[in-house]
Amino acid sequence: MMGRWLARLKSGKDPGTHATKPTKHLQEDEKAGFVGFVAPPQGPLQKTGAIASAANDDLALSELLDAAMLVCDHWQDGPEARDRMRQDVIQTPPHLRADLLAHFQRAYAL
């Protein structure tokens, strides 16, 4: 199916292509570069940009919550204190979470 589409595009005979021929010869600096086609990726997809950032934030939050629960274990906190700790960690701004994790790791030898 894709082959027919590609063939129509290359031939320019499809009514919807609206391809026109140049009316004059193009100068060297006016010539357009090659326009190619994007092939689907051959390997596994990699997360980029905002998706990678969100995945890293989730991982950092998960690691921080695990460390916070170990701190709660150290202090033998009950369910209410653990819930408060969990909420405090979740409400910690993302740019401060690495510092809080480092504090937990230093102070509690995690």
Domain count for the chain: 1
Classify residue 6: in a domain, yes or no: no
Beta-carbon contacts of residue 63 (< 8 Å; ≥ 6 apart): 101
CA R_g for the chain: 29
Q: How many CB atoms lie within 10 A of CB 3?
A: 7
Domain of 108? 53-110
pLDDT tens column, 58-88 = 778 999 999 999 999 999 999 999 999 999 9
Write the DSSP symbol of residue 28.
G
Classify residue 42: in a domain, yes or no: no
Classify residue 83: in a domain, yes or no: yes
pTM exceeding 0.75: no
